[in-house]
Amino acid sequence: MLCRDLHRMLSELQAIVGEPNATNKETVLITYSRDASLVDALKPEYVVRPQTAEQVSSIVRLANDTHTPVIAAGGRCGMGGACLPLKRGIVLDMTGVNHVSVNENNMTATVGAGCTWGNLLYELKRRGFKPGFRGPYSGHSATVGGSVSSNSVGIASAKWGQAPQGVTSLKVILPDGAILETGSRINPNARPFNRFNCTADLTGLFCGDHSLLGVKYEVTLRIYPYPEAVEYCCFGFSTIEDAAGAFYQIQKLAIAEDMTMVCDKASIKGVIEEMADLFPDIESLFVVILEEPSAEIALAKQKLCQSIAQKYNGKDLGDMFPKMYWDSKFEMITPLFKYGMWNATCHCLETYRIPEIVYDLKKTFKKYKTEEKGLFALMCAMPTLNNTVSFVGHVYAKEDDEKALELVKTMWDEKKTEIWKYGGVPYWTGIAWYPYLEMTSEFRETLTRIKKALDPHCILNPGAFGIEY
């Protein structure tokens, strides 16, 4: 059936997932043409909400038979349109696949790809565990599958790296409908306890792929005992150089569960006004969270952080802000919507370059007169393991202020080009970024060859990363 009969297609999808779980209702299709960004995209033709791996497999097989594009969607809270269909077709809403099963013996949790980070943290905490990477700041809506598919950086990345870092195994539906398990599941007698085994790391192939190469059904993650003790630090500095110096010294030691730097005075004022009023001489600040199995270890590490901050002329700002931050992880960014929508420029960069990038962004803000125009601009940095940060630069504009939105978009497009030029590497991206990702020809060709081998009809997310045929 190459020529698609829309009604027949819908009834076939409904036969797979049940009538209420597949639709082509206009109101639903419109909803699935937006994520949390300002990106305008096409509406899909169908939205389908599968529950089982076999259902996903049948949908993908049907899509192959009818040459219908398929894209997977999780919480749909990306900032670049990654989950939006470039070629219409089917959106697979994975949020119905949200089971959590914990194996205390081998310290892993096997999670439905559509499980939110909020739900996962809750389910693990009540059993006495935590995952490593703890989700992006949108963790009430963002899903484990969505974050692993976009290499998210976020809470606890300082210690545990990006979302895929803790993954031991994936259950993936391939573009031809086959169901593949990776990691130690190369051996059908083994549980999914380990990622690196006797041959190539196929888990990594599907991380950050934006559903280009497969649909993740299940993700197995390493888990850790819930901490007995938590300590907090917050240090303020009068120069970005001192702040970045102390931040990097602490980051290198890999002792912090989480660290976040708010890079300039305007950002501090926008995030927590009281702090800016209380400490007017502070230009930059950062928080450090320490989670340990005992109070002694946590306090010793806190002391070490304090002594490093002192060496860089840091002022101890107490634990009020970091406590508030750590207790309300997923609510930290959302209040900033009061400044409007934002176009984010998150990208990974070597930590030692923080001051250079802060000055570079300030130049851009000056050029576009953001302050004079009353636009709030935020600069933050979050570590990913020991040597890199995600550098975050947002400029906010109210959704009903067309002029401001246009200005922010122009600035955003300029920045996307510059980030690539100065050697930054974006991670979550999406259709707003694809034209700016000037990968080496060797990389693009290799990725395209893998894609063609797995997906000869280019069914899965055609056009993602500019790859279509």
Ligand X SMILES: Cc1cc2nc3c(=O)[nH]c(=O)nc-3n(C[C@H](O)[C@H](O)[C@H](O)COP(=O)(O)OP(=O)(O)OC[C@H]3O[C@@H](n4cnc5c(N)ncnc54)[C@H](O)[C@@H]3O)c2cc1C
With CB under 6 A as the contact rule, the residue among 152, 168, 182, 343 that binds ligand X is 152
Stretch that binds ligand X, among 6-14, 42-50, 143-151, 320-328 (CB under 6 A): 143-151
35 contacts ligand X (rule: CB under 6 A):
yes
Q: How far is the CB of 430 from ligand X (least distance, A)?
A: 7
Cβ atoms of 321 and 271 within 8 Å: the answer is no
Does 50 sit near ligand X (CB under 6 A)?
no
In the complex, minimum distance from the CB of residue 437 to ligand X, in angstroms, rounded to a whole number: 13
- Region binding ligand X by CB under 6 A among candidate stretches 76-84, 193-201, 245-253, 313-321: 76-84
Interacting span for ligand X (CB under 6 A) from 62-70, 135-143, 176-184, 433-441: 135-143
Among 90, 120, 153, 395, binds ligand X (CB under 6 A): 153
Q: Which is nearer to ligand X, 302 or 429 (CB)?
A: 429
Task: List, in order, residues 6 or more apart from 287 with CB less than 8 Å away.
Answer: 232, 233, 234, 258, 259, 260, 321, 322, 325
Rounded least distance, CB 42 to ligand X, Å = 14
- Is the Cβ–Cβ distance between 285 and 380 less than 8 Å? no
CB 347 within 8 A of CB 387: no
x-marked contacts with ligand X along 326-355 as a string, rule CB under 6 A: -------xx---------------------
Closer residue to ligand X in complex, CB, 22/70: 70
Query: Which among 175, 211, 2, 207 is positioned nearest to 86, based on CA atoms?
Result: 211
Q: Residue 315: enclosing H or E segment and its boundaries? A: strand 315-316
Rg (CA), the chain: 23
Q: Which residue minimizes CB distance to ligand X?
A: 146
Extract the tokens encoding 251.
């980051």
| Sequence letter at residue 212 | L
Site string for ligand X, 92-111 (x = CB under 6 A): --x-----------------
In angstroms, give the least distance from the CB of 87 to ligand X: 13
232: left (phi over 0), alpha (psi -120 to 50) or beta: beta
Q: How many separate helices (H) and strands (E) can be counted in the chain?
A: 15, 18
Question: Looking at 77, 86, 271, 289, which residue binds ligand X (CB under 6 A)?
Answer: 77
Nearer to ligand X, 314 or 393 (CB): 393
Q: Return d(Cα 289, Cα 302) in angstroms, integer.
A: 9
Query: Token match 């400490």: residue?
Result: 279
> Residue 101's closest CA among 127, 137, 83, 62?
127
The minimum distance between CB 280 and ligand X, in angstroms, equals: 29
- Measured from the CB of residue 467, what is the shortest distance to ligand X in angstroms? 13
Measured between alpha carbons, how far is 469 from 462 in angstroms, rounded to an integer?
A: 8
> Is residue 78 part of the contact set for ligand X (CB under 6 A)?
yes
Told to check if 76 binds ligand X by CB under 6 A, we report yes
Tell me: does residue 138 bind ligand X (CB under 6 A). Answer: yes
φ/ψ (deg, to 5) at 464: -60, 140
Of residues 73 and 459, the one with the C-beta less far from ligand X: 73
Is 71 an interacting residue with respect to ligand X (CB under 6 A)?
A: yes
Residue 379 to residue 361: CA distance in whole angstroms: 8
Residue with tokens 């497969």: 214
Per the listing, tokens 């709030």 go with 376
CB of 70 to ligand X, least distance (A): 10
Interface pattern 191-220 for ligand X (x via CB under 6 A):
-------------------xx---xx----
# chain residues binding ligand X, by CB under 6 A:
36
Contact residue for ligand X among 9, 16, 36, 255 (CB under 6 A)? 36
Q: Are 211 and 72 in contact (CB under 8 A)?
A: yes
Among 141-149, 233-241, 257-265, 356-364, which window interacts with ligand X (CB under 6 A)? Answer: 141-149
CB of 378 to ligand X, least distance (A): 12
DSSP string across 215-237:
EEEEEEEEEEEPPSEEEEEEEEE
Instruction: Please spell the DSSP secondary structure of 34-90, one letter per residue.
Output: --SSS---PPPSEEE---SHHHHHHHHHHHHHHT--EEEESS---SS-TTS-SS-SE
Partnered with residue 236 across adjacent β-strands are 285, 315
Distance CA 135, CA 120 (A): 9
Contact criterion met (CB below 8 Å) for 182 and 193: no
Is the distance from CB of 144 to CB of 207 less than 8 angstroms?
Answer: no
Q: Is 147 in the site for ligand X (CB under 6 A)?
A: yes
Min CB(161)–ligand X separation in Å: 12
Smallest gap from Cβ 328 to ligand X, in A, equals: 13
CB of 171 to ligand X, least distance (A): 10
375 is a contact residue toward ligand X (CB under 6 A): no
Nearer to ligand X, 145 or 236 (CB): 145
Residues between 402 and 431 with contacts to ligand X, criterion CB under 6 A:
428
- H or E stretch covering 64: helix 53-66
Pull the structure tokens for residue 248: 């990097």
Please report, as ranges, the residues that interact with ligand X according to CB under 6 A. Answer: 35-36, 71-79, 82-83, 94, 113, 136-138, 142-143, 145-147, 149-150, 152-154, 210-211, 215-216, 333-334, 428, 461
